[in-house]
Amino acid sequence: MRQERGCAGVAIVMAAVVTLLASGCARATGPQLTGAASDPALAHAGPWADEFREALGAGISSYEEKILADGQITTAEVEDVHGRVRACLADSGLGIEYDPDGGFDVLSLDGKYPDDFFDRSDPVLRACEKQYDEYVTMLFEESRRNPEKQDEATITVACLRRAGVVGKDYTERKWRAESDSGLVSFDEYDERAQQCRLDPLGLWREP
């Protein structure tokens, strides 16, 4: 069963970031330092330091805290996180397959999928993620695809133009409007469009 929590979808990540920042603002009592300046240990996180800092203050597990504390997430750490989630789910007869492009499939190890499979499996998944992966995969994928946290409209429209998906008259304003409405004027399932959504800067994904 396909689930999208933890994938590299911009809307999901932005919602999570807004939630984190909102919770941080609620605790603010005076002028606050932001980014790596507020915690030198997060210097490796660069423009994503605020998101790392807010995640660290969100009551995560000690295991996840150790991974995020230095402001960087390695591929080996992500693989270890996924292995632990997989082992956790297996204790309840569930499996998980992670898509390299983001997202995952939750599986029944006995191959049976009753009508209430999601209702039974999702709480188990959430409990396993609470132990190991509330933020690691999300922060890894988002900082990988846009390490300098550039404006999404700017980098996506530039990519779409380079790829020939849209013309020069397709503006960033139009992309924002279409993203908000969910109705785009180009073929969003075109592999070139998918490439621009997942890896607009061409940093990690093979077309």
Break the chain into its structural domains and give their ranges.
2-145, 152-198
pLDDT along the chain (207 residues), means of 10: 47 39 37 49 91 96 96 97 98 97 96 96 98 97 96 98 98 97 96 97 93
Whole-model pTM: value is: 0.79
pLDDT at 38: 54
Q: Residue 10 has what pLDDT?
A: 39
- pLDDT value for 1: 55
Whole-number pLDDT of residue 40: 72
Which pairs with CB-CB distance under 8 Å and at least 24 residues apart come from 33-37?
A: 36/71
Helices and strands, number each (H, E), in the chain: 9, 3
Whole-angstrom Cα distance, residue 204 to residue 206? Answer: 7
State the angle between helix axes of 136-145 and 75-90 in degrees (0 to 180), rounded to the nearest 10: 150
